[in-house]
Amino acid sequence: MSKIIKTINPYTGASLESYKQFSDATLEDYINRAEETFHEWKTTEISERTDLFKQLADNLIKNKQHYSELMSKEMGKPISQSIAEIEKCALLTDFYVKNAEDFLADEIITTDASESFISYDPLGCILGIMPWNYPFWQVIRFAVPTIAAGNTVLLKHAANVTGCALIIEELFKESGFPKGCFQTLVVDHAQIENLIADNRIQAVSLTGSEKAGRHIAALAGKNLKKTVLELGGNNACIVLADADLDSYMDIMVNARMQNTGQSCIAAKRFIVEESIYDTFLEKFKNKVSAIKIGDPLKLDTELTVLAREDLAETLKKQVDDSVKKGAKVLMGNKMDKTYFEPTIITGVKPGMPVFDDETFGPVAAIIKVKNADEAYEMATNSKFGLGSMIFTQDTEAAKLQIGRIPDGAFFINDIVKSDPRLPFGGTKASGFGRELSEEGIHEFVNKKTVYINL
Protein backbone atom coordinates (compact mmCIF):
# COMPACT_ATOMS: atom_id res chain seq x y z
CA MET A 1 0.00 0.00 0.00
CA SER A 2 1.28 3.46 -0.91
CA LYS A 3 2.30 5.82 1.85
CA ILE A 4 0.33 9.05 2.11
CA ILE A 5 1.93 12.49 2.41
CA LYS A 6 -0.33 15.12 3.97
CA THR A 7 0.19 18.87 3.80
CA ILE A 8 -1.02 21.04 6.69
CA ASN A 9 -1.58 24.79 6.93
CA PRO A 10 0.80 25.83 9.75
CA TYR A 11 -1.28 28.95 10.56
CA THR A 12 -4.69 27.28 10.91
CA GLY A 13 -3.62 23.69 11.56
CA ALA A 14 -6.07 22.54 8.89
CA SER A 15 -5.26 19.70 6.51
CA LEU A 16 -4.72 20.86 2.93
CA GLU A 17 -4.19 17.84 0.68
CA SER A 18 -3.10 14.20 0.68
CA TYR A 19 -0.70 12.75 -1.88
CA LYS A 20 0.24 9.16 -2.65
CA GLN A 21 3.92 8.38 -2.50
CA PHE A 22 5.31 6.94 -5.74
CA SER A 23 5.79 3.22 -5.98
CA ASP A 24 9.20 2.02 -7.10
CA ALA A 25 7.65 1.17 -10.48
CA THR A 26 6.31 4.72 -10.89
CA LEU A 27 9.68 6.15 -9.93
CA GLU A 28 11.33 3.95 -12.55
CA ASP A 29 8.99 5.35 -15.20
CA TYR A 30 9.95 8.91 -14.25
CA ILE A 31 13.68 8.17 -14.41
CA ASN A 32 13.31 6.51 -17.81
CA ARG A 33 11.33 9.46 -19.12
CA ALA A 34 13.99 11.91 -17.89
CA GLU A 35 16.72 9.84 -19.55
CA GLU A 36 14.85 9.52 -22.85
CA THR A 37 13.97 13.21 -22.93
CA PHE A 38 17.58 14.20 -22.26
CA HIS A 39 18.80 12.63 -25.49
CA GLU A 40 16.39 14.83 -27.46
CA TRP A 41 16.61 17.95 -25.29
CA LYS A 42 20.41 18.18 -25.38
CA THR A 43 20.28 18.55 -29.17
CA THR A 44 17.63 21.29 -29.06
CA GLU A 45 18.99 24.67 -30.08
CA ILE A 46 19.60 26.97 -27.13
CA SER A 47 17.43 29.61 -28.79
CA GLU A 48 14.53 27.14 -28.80
CA ARG A 49 15.10 26.38 -25.12
CA THR A 50 15.11 30.07 -24.18
CA ASP A 51 11.87 30.64 -26.13
CA LEU A 52 10.21 28.17 -23.76
CA PHE A 53 11.70 29.97 -20.77
CA LYS A 54 10.15 33.21 -22.02
CA GLN A 55 6.78 31.47 -21.76
CA LEU A 56 7.66 30.14 -18.32
CA ALA A 57 8.46 33.65 -17.06
CA ASP A 58 5.16 34.90 -18.45
CA ASN A 59 3.26 32.06 -16.78
CA LEU A 60 4.92 32.78 -13.44
CA ILE A 61 3.61 36.33 -13.53
CA LYS A 62 0.21 35.32 -14.90
CA ASN A 63 -0.31 32.81 -12.07
CA LYS A 64 1.55 34.61 -9.29
CA GLN A 65 -1.50 35.13 -7.08
CA HIS A 66 -2.45 31.45 -7.23
CA TYR A 67 1.12 30.29 -6.66
CA SER A 68 1.62 32.76 -3.81
CA GLU A 69 -1.53 31.70 -1.99
CA LEU A 70 -0.54 28.04 -2.22
CA MET A 71 2.94 28.84 -0.89
CA SER A 72 1.53 30.83 2.04
CA LYS A 73 -0.97 28.10 2.90
CA GLU A 74 1.60 25.29 2.79
CA MET A 75 4.48 26.88 4.73
CA GLY A 76 3.06 30.09 6.23
CA LYS A 77 5.02 32.73 4.30
CA PRO A 78 3.43 36.22 4.43
CA ILE A 79 1.60 36.63 1.12
CA SER A 80 3.44 39.83 0.18
CA GLN A 81 6.72 37.91 0.44
CA SER A 82 5.26 34.99 -1.55
CA ILE A 83 4.32 37.37 -4.35
CA ALA A 84 7.82 38.87 -4.28
CA GLU A 85 9.26 35.35 -4.49
CA ILE A 86 7.32 34.54 -7.65
CA GLU A 87 8.32 37.86 -9.22
CA LYS A 88 11.97 37.12 -8.43
CA CYS A 89 11.64 33.70 -10.09
CA ALA A 90 10.43 35.45 -13.25
CA LEU A 91 13.37 37.86 -13.12
CA LEU A 92 15.81 34.96 -12.84
CA THR A 93 14.17 33.22 -15.78
CA ASP A 94 14.42 36.39 -17.87
CA PHE A 95 18.11 36.65 -16.95
CA TYR A 96 18.87 33.24 -18.43
CA VAL A 97 16.66 33.90 -21.45
CA LYS A 98 18.94 36.84 -22.23
CA ASN A 99 22.27 35.26 -21.28
CA ALA A 100 22.15 31.46 -21.60
CA GLU A 101 23.33 31.36 -25.19
CA ASP A 102 26.38 33.52 -24.42
CA PHE A 103 27.17 31.57 -21.25
CA LEU A 104 27.09 28.26 -23.14
CA ALA A 105 28.94 29.39 -26.28
CA ASP A 106 32.21 27.63 -27.07
CA GLU A 107 35.14 29.45 -25.47
CA ILE A 108 37.96 29.83 -27.96
CA ILE A 109 41.44 29.24 -26.47
CA THR A 110 44.61 30.05 -28.41
CA THR A 111 47.04 27.11 -28.34
CA ASP A 112 49.41 25.32 -30.74
CA ALA A 113 46.38 23.69 -32.36
CA SER A 114 44.72 24.92 -35.52
CA GLU A 115 41.64 25.34 -33.40
CA SER A 116 40.98 24.71 -29.72
CA PHE A 117 38.11 25.59 -27.46
CA ILE A 118 36.02 24.60 -24.45
CA SER A 119 32.63 23.09 -25.22
CA TYR A 120 29.96 23.19 -22.50
CA ASP A 121 28.03 19.94 -22.83
CA PRO A 122 25.08 18.95 -20.61
CA LEU A 123 25.59 16.02 -18.25
CA GLY A 124 22.19 14.31 -18.29
CA CYS A 125 19.54 13.90 -15.62
CA ILE A 126 20.19 16.01 -12.50
CA LEU A 127 18.49 15.38 -9.16
CA GLY A 128 17.45 18.42 -7.13
CA ILE A 129 16.65 18.05 -3.42
CA MET A 130 15.06 21.27 -2.24
CA PRO A 131 13.76 22.79 1.05
CA TRP A 132 10.42 24.28 2.04
CA ASN A 133 11.44 27.81 3.10
CA TYR A 134 11.44 29.29 -0.42
CA PRO A 135 9.31 26.68 -2.21
CA PHE A 136 9.47 28.26 -5.68
CA TRP A 137 12.71 30.25 -5.62
CA GLN A 138 14.97 27.41 -4.49
CA VAL A 139 13.61 25.17 -7.24
CA ILE A 140 13.58 27.74 -10.04
CA ARG A 141 17.10 29.00 -9.36
CA PHE A 142 18.38 25.42 -9.63
CA ALA A 143 16.17 24.15 -12.43
CA VAL A 144 16.21 27.02 -14.93
CA PRO A 145 19.98 27.19 -15.60
CA THR A 146 20.28 23.41 -15.34
CA ILE A 147 17.60 22.78 -17.97
CA ALA A 148 18.77 25.73 -20.10
CA ALA A 149 22.17 24.00 -20.30
CA GLY A 150 20.49 20.97 -21.87
CA ASN A 151 19.98 18.74 -18.83
CA THR A 152 16.76 17.26 -17.48
CA VAL A 153 15.69 17.57 -13.85
CA LEU A 154 14.07 15.37 -11.24
CA LEU A 155 12.87 17.24 -8.14
CA LYS A 156 12.55 15.87 -4.62
CA HIS A 157 10.92 18.71 -2.70
CA ALA A 158 10.19 18.95 1.02
CA ALA A 159 7.07 16.96 1.91
CA ASN A 160 5.24 19.89 3.52
CA VAL A 161 5.24 21.81 0.20
CA THR A 162 4.24 18.92 -2.05
CA GLY A 163 1.51 21.06 -3.63
CA CYS A 164 4.09 23.64 -4.69
CA ALA A 165 6.36 20.89 -6.03
CA LEU A 166 3.65 19.45 -8.25
CA ILE A 167 2.41 22.80 -9.51
CA ILE A 168 5.97 23.73 -10.56
CA GLU A 169 5.98 20.60 -12.71
CA GLU A 170 2.70 21.79 -14.24
CA LEU A 171 4.28 25.19 -14.82
CA PHE A 172 6.99 23.63 -17.00
CA LYS A 173 4.48 21.51 -18.91
CA GLU A 174 2.13 24.44 -19.53
CA SER A 175 5.09 26.49 -20.76
CA GLY A 176 5.70 23.94 -23.53
CA PHE A 177 8.68 21.97 -22.18
CA PRO A 178 8.87 18.26 -23.11
CA LYS A 179 7.27 16.12 -20.42
CA GLY A 180 10.55 14.68 -19.13
CA CYS A 181 12.44 17.99 -18.82
CA PHE A 182 11.20 18.72 -15.30
CA GLN A 183 9.48 16.11 -13.12
CA THR A 184 8.49 16.14 -9.46
CA LEU A 185 9.01 12.98 -7.44
CA VAL A 186 6.74 12.20 -4.49
CA VAL A 187 9.14 9.81 -2.78
CA ASP A 188 10.74 9.10 0.58
CA HIS A 189 14.36 9.28 1.71
CA ALA A 190 15.08 5.60 1.06
CA GLN A 191 13.98 5.96 -2.55
CA ILE A 192 16.19 9.03 -2.94
CA GLU A 193 19.22 7.15 -1.63
CA ASN A 194 18.65 4.46 -4.25
CA LEU A 195 18.16 7.13 -6.89
CA ILE A 196 21.53 8.75 -6.16
CA ALA A 197 23.17 5.37 -6.79
CA ASP A 198 21.37 5.01 -10.14
CA ASN A 199 23.72 5.38 -13.12
CA ARG A 200 21.13 7.47 -14.95
CA ILE A 201 21.48 10.25 -12.36
CA GLN A 202 24.55 12.30 -13.22
CA ALA A 203 24.66 14.85 -10.39
CA VAL A 204 22.82 16.14 -7.32
CA SER A 205 22.00 19.64 -6.14
CA LEU A 206 20.87 20.00 -2.52
CA THR A 207 19.70 23.03 -0.61
CA GLY A 208 19.10 22.13 3.01
CA SER A 209 20.62 21.64 6.43
CA GLU A 210 24.23 20.83 7.20
CA LYS A 211 23.13 17.38 8.39
CA ALA A 212 21.32 16.67 5.13
CA GLY A 213 24.28 18.00 3.15
CA ARG A 214 26.77 15.71 4.84
CA HIS A 215 24.51 12.71 4.23
CA ILE A 216 23.85 13.45 0.57
CA ALA A 217 27.50 14.36 -0.07
CA ALA A 218 28.57 11.00 1.38
CA LEU A 219 26.12 9.11 -0.84
CA ALA A 220 27.09 11.10 -3.91
CA GLY A 221 30.78 10.70 -3.18
CA LYS A 222 30.38 6.96 -2.80
CA ASN A 223 28.78 6.89 -6.25
CA LEU A 224 31.17 9.49 -7.78
CA LYS A 225 28.40 11.98 -8.50
CA LYS A 226 28.98 15.72 -8.83
CA THR A 227 27.20 17.75 -6.13
CA VAL A 228 26.31 21.34 -5.38
CA LEU A 229 25.47 21.93 -1.72
CA GLU A 230 23.84 25.10 -0.41
CA LEU A 231 23.53 24.46 3.31
CA GLY A 232 22.90 26.34 6.52
CA GLY A 233 24.22 29.70 7.55
CA ASN A 234 24.97 31.68 10.69
CA ASN A 235 25.52 35.04 9.06
CA ALA A 236 27.10 37.85 11.01
CA CYS A 237 25.79 41.39 10.81
CA ILE A 238 28.66 43.64 11.92
CA VAL A 239 27.55 47.06 13.13
CA LEU A 240 30.54 49.36 13.46
CA ALA A 241 30.67 52.51 15.57
CA ASP A 242 30.19 54.84 12.60
CA ALA A 243 27.19 52.96 11.16
CA ASP A 244 24.24 55.10 10.08
CA LEU A 245 21.62 53.39 12.23
CA ASP A 246 18.70 55.56 11.14
CA SER A 247 19.32 54.89 7.45
CA TYR A 248 19.89 51.14 7.76
CA MET A 249 17.91 49.91 10.76
CA ASP A 250 14.98 48.72 8.62
CA ILE A 251 17.42 46.70 6.51
CA MET A 252 19.05 45.18 9.60
CA VAL A 253 15.71 44.12 11.08
CA ASN A 254 14.56 42.70 7.75
CA ALA A 255 17.86 40.84 7.51
CA ARG A 256 16.80 38.79 10.52
CA MET A 257 12.99 38.74 10.33
CA GLN A 258 12.29 38.20 6.60
CA ASN A 259 10.42 34.97 5.90
CA THR A 260 9.75 34.82 9.66
CA GLY A 261 13.47 34.28 10.16
CA GLN A 262 13.48 31.07 8.12
CA SER A 263 16.30 31.91 5.76
CA CYS A 264 19.79 30.46 5.46
CA ILE A 265 21.20 33.89 4.57
CA ALA A 266 19.44 35.78 7.36
CA ALA A 267 21.51 37.85 9.78
CA LYS A 268 21.62 35.66 12.86
CA ARG A 269 24.45 37.17 14.90
CA PHE A 270 24.49 40.97 15.33
CA ILE A 271 28.00 41.98 16.35
CA VAL A 272 27.90 45.57 17.62
CA GLU A 273 30.68 47.90 18.77
CA GLU A 274 30.18 48.88 22.40
CA SER A 275 30.18 52.66 21.77
CA ILE A 276 26.84 52.41 19.90
CA TYR A 277 25.54 49.20 21.48
CA ASP A 278 22.84 50.76 23.67
CA THR A 279 21.58 53.01 20.88
CA PHE A 280 21.51 50.12 18.44
CA LEU A 281 19.65 47.89 20.88
CA GLU A 282 16.96 50.49 21.57
CA LYS A 283 16.37 51.25 17.89
CA PHE A 284 16.44 47.56 16.95
CA LYS A 285 13.95 46.63 19.67
CA ASN A 286 11.59 49.42 18.66
CA LYS A 287 11.59 48.27 15.05
CA VAL A 288 11.07 44.61 15.96
CA SER A 289 8.22 45.54 18.31
CA ALA A 290 6.47 47.35 15.46
CA ILE A 291 6.45 44.35 13.10
CA LYS A 292 2.92 43.48 11.95
CA ILE A 293 2.20 39.89 12.99
CA GLY A 294 -0.82 37.97 11.73
CA ASP A 295 -2.54 35.91 9.05
CA PRO A 296 -0.09 35.05 6.25
CA LEU A 297 -2.82 35.62 3.64
CA LYS A 298 -3.25 39.28 4.60
CA LEU A 299 -1.16 41.72 2.58
CA ASP A 300 -0.10 43.82 5.57
CA THR A 301 1.28 40.85 7.52
CA GLU A 302 5.06 41.03 7.92
CA LEU A 303 5.73 38.05 10.20
CA THR A 304 3.72 34.96 10.95
CA VAL A 305 4.10 31.33 12.01
CA LEU A 306 6.95 28.92 11.40
CA ALA A 307 6.41 26.17 8.86
CA ARG A 308 6.10 23.35 11.42
CA GLU A 309 5.66 23.00 15.16
CA ASP A 310 8.89 20.99 15.58
CA LEU A 311 10.82 23.97 14.17
CA ALA A 312 9.42 26.22 16.90
CA GLU A 313 10.29 23.62 19.52
CA THR A 314 13.90 23.44 18.28
CA LEU A 315 14.19 27.22 18.33
CA LYS A 316 12.81 27.40 21.87
CA LYS A 317 15.36 24.88 23.07
CA GLN A 318 18.22 26.82 21.44
CA VAL A 319 17.18 30.03 23.20
CA ASP A 320 16.52 28.36 26.56
CA ASP A 321 19.83 26.51 26.49
CA SER A 322 21.61 29.80 25.71
CA VAL A 323 19.88 31.47 28.66
CA LYS A 324 21.11 28.66 30.90
CA LYS A 325 24.62 29.58 29.76
CA GLY A 326 24.21 33.25 30.65
CA ALA A 327 22.36 34.94 27.80
CA LYS A 328 19.46 37.30 28.55
CA VAL A 329 16.11 37.53 26.77
CA LEU A 330 15.38 41.17 26.03
CA MET A 331 12.05 40.39 24.40
CA GLY A 332 10.12 37.40 23.08
CA ASN A 333 10.91 33.70 23.54
CA LYS A 334 7.26 32.67 23.72
CA MET A 335 5.82 30.00 21.46
CA ASP A 336 2.34 28.68 20.75
CA LYS A 337 2.35 25.66 18.47
CA THR A 338 3.86 26.96 15.18
CA TYR A 339 4.05 30.58 16.34
CA PHE A 340 7.31 31.87 17.81
CA GLU A 341 7.39 35.43 19.09
CA PRO A 342 10.08 37.72 17.64
CA THR A 343 12.97 37.44 20.07
CA ILE A 344 16.04 39.47 20.95
CA ILE A 345 18.65 37.81 23.11
CA THR A 346 21.67 39.67 24.54
CA GLY A 347 24.84 38.70 26.38
CA VAL A 348 25.51 36.16 23.67
CA LYS A 349 28.93 34.51 23.55
CA PRO A 350 30.63 31.65 21.70
CA GLY A 351 29.59 28.30 23.14
CA MET A 352 25.89 29.21 23.26
CA PRO A 353 23.53 27.58 20.74
CA VAL A 354 22.34 30.98 19.45
CA PHE A 355 25.97 31.85 18.63
CA ASP A 356 27.29 28.51 17.40
CA ASP A 357 24.31 27.01 15.59
CA GLU A 358 21.89 28.10 12.92
CA THR A 359 18.68 29.47 14.41
CA PHE A 360 15.87 29.09 11.89
CA GLY A 361 13.29 31.56 13.10
CA PRO A 362 12.81 35.15 14.35
CA VAL A 363 15.59 35.17 16.96
CA ALA A 364 18.28 37.88 16.90
CA ALA A 365 21.43 37.18 18.92
CA ILE A 366 23.25 40.37 19.94
CA ILE A 367 26.99 40.36 20.72
CA LYS A 368 28.84 43.37 22.15
CA VAL A 369 32.48 43.90 21.10
CA LYS A 370 35.08 46.52 21.96
CA ASN A 371 36.17 47.57 18.48
CA ALA A 372 36.10 46.79 14.77
CA ASP A 373 38.98 44.34 14.96
CA GLU A 374 37.17 42.26 17.58
CA ALA A 375 33.99 42.47 15.49
CA TYR A 376 35.65 40.92 12.45
CA GLU A 377 37.31 38.26 14.59
CA MET A 378 33.95 37.38 16.16
CA ALA A 379 32.31 37.18 12.73
CA THR A 380 34.82 34.58 11.54
CA ASN A 381 34.19 32.47 14.66
CA SER A 382 31.74 30.13 12.98
CA LYS A 383 31.76 26.75 11.30
CA PHE A 384 29.48 28.25 8.63
CA GLY A 385 30.54 30.46 5.74
CA LEU A 386 27.52 31.62 3.78
CA GLY A 387 27.69 35.40 4.05
CA SER A 388 28.44 38.46 6.16
CA MET A 389 27.16 42.02 6.18
CA ILE A 390 28.96 45.09 7.51
CA PHE A 391 27.35 48.43 8.29
CA THR A 392 29.74 51.38 8.31
CA GLN A 393 30.24 54.76 6.68
CA ASP A 394 33.89 53.94 5.94
CA THR A 395 33.30 51.59 3.02
CA GLU A 396 36.93 51.78 1.87
CA ALA A 397 38.12 50.44 5.24
CA ALA A 398 35.49 47.71 5.08
CA LYS A 399 36.67 46.67 1.60
CA LEU A 400 40.11 45.98 3.06
CA GLN A 401 38.48 43.26 5.23
CA ILE A 402 36.95 41.31 2.34
CA GLY A 403 39.60 38.61 2.50
CA ARG A 404 39.41 38.38 6.27
CA ILE A 405 36.01 36.67 6.40
CA PRO A 406 36.06 33.37 4.46
CA ASP A 407 32.38 33.44 3.45
CA GLY A 408 30.71 33.11 0.10
CA ALA A 409 29.37 36.67 0.24
CA PHE A 410 30.45 39.98 1.74
CA PHE A 411 27.87 42.78 1.74
CA ILE A 412 28.53 46.35 2.86
CA ASN A 413 25.53 48.40 4.01
CA ASP A 414 22.98 45.92 2.72
CA ILE A 415 21.34 42.63 3.49
CA VAL A 416 22.96 39.46 2.16
CA LYS A 417 20.75 38.41 -0.75
CA SER A 418 20.81 36.34 -3.90
CA ASP A 419 20.85 38.02 -7.29
CA PRO A 420 20.62 36.14 -10.62
CA ARG A 421 23.58 38.18 -11.92
CA LEU A 422 25.93 37.14 -9.09
CA PRO A 423 27.16 33.70 -7.97
CA PHE A 424 25.61 32.39 -4.78
CA GLY A 425 26.99 29.77 -2.38
CA GLY A 426 29.04 29.20 0.73
CA THR A 427 32.18 27.77 2.28
CA LYS A 428 32.92 25.47 5.23
CA ALA A 429 29.75 23.90 6.67
CA SER A 430 27.63 26.09 4.38
CA GLY A 431 28.51 23.86 1.44
CA PHE A 432 30.25 24.20 -1.90
CA GLY A 433 29.53 24.97 -5.53
CA ARG A 434 27.69 28.00 -6.86
CA GLU A 435 24.22 28.78 -8.11
CA LEU A 436 23.05 31.70 -10.29
CA SER A 437 25.04 33.81 -12.78
CA GLU A 438 27.35 32.22 -15.34
CA GLU A 439 28.88 30.13 -12.54
CA GLY A 440 25.52 28.45 -11.87
CA ILE A 441 24.80 27.40 -15.45
CA HIS A 442 28.29 25.86 -15.66
CA GLU A 443 27.90 23.65 -12.56
CA PHE A 444 26.15 20.83 -14.41
CA VAL A 445 28.00 20.78 -17.71
CA ASN A 446 31.02 18.90 -18.99
CA LYS A 447 33.68 21.52 -19.73
CA LYS A 448 35.09 19.61 -22.66
CA THR A 449 38.47 20.40 -24.20
CA VAL A 450 38.35 20.31 -28.00
CA TYR A 451 41.71 20.31 -29.87
CA ILE A 452 41.88 20.29 -33.68
CA ASN A 453 44.87 20.19 -36.02
CA LEU A 454 44.34 20.67 -39.72
Pairing between β-strand 201-207 and β-strand 115-122 as defined by DSSP bridges: unpaired
**Torsional sign, CA 176, 178, 180, 181:** negative
Give me the phi and psi of 396, to 5 degrees please. -65, -40
Query: What is the distance, to the nearest Å, from the Cα of residue 266 to the centroid of all Cα atoms in its chain?
Result: 11
Q: Is 174 a catalytic residue?
A: no
Which of 85, 210, 230, 273 is catalytic? The answer is 230
What is the Cα–Cα distance from 216 to 196, expressed in whole angstroms?
9
> CB neighbours of 326 closer than 8 A, spacing ≥ 6?
347, 349, 352
Map 31-79 to HEC letters: HHHHHHHHHHHCCCCHHHHHHHHHHHHHHHHHCHHHHHHHHHHHHCCCH
End-to-end CA distance of the chain: 63
Q: Give residue 333's region: left, alpha or beta (phi > 0; psi -120 to 50).
A: left
Contact indicator for 383, 373 with CB cutoff of 8 Å: no
Burial class (CB in 10 A: 0-12, 13-18, 19+), 403: exposed
Q: Beta partners for 329? A: 345
**What are the residue numbers of the active site?**
230
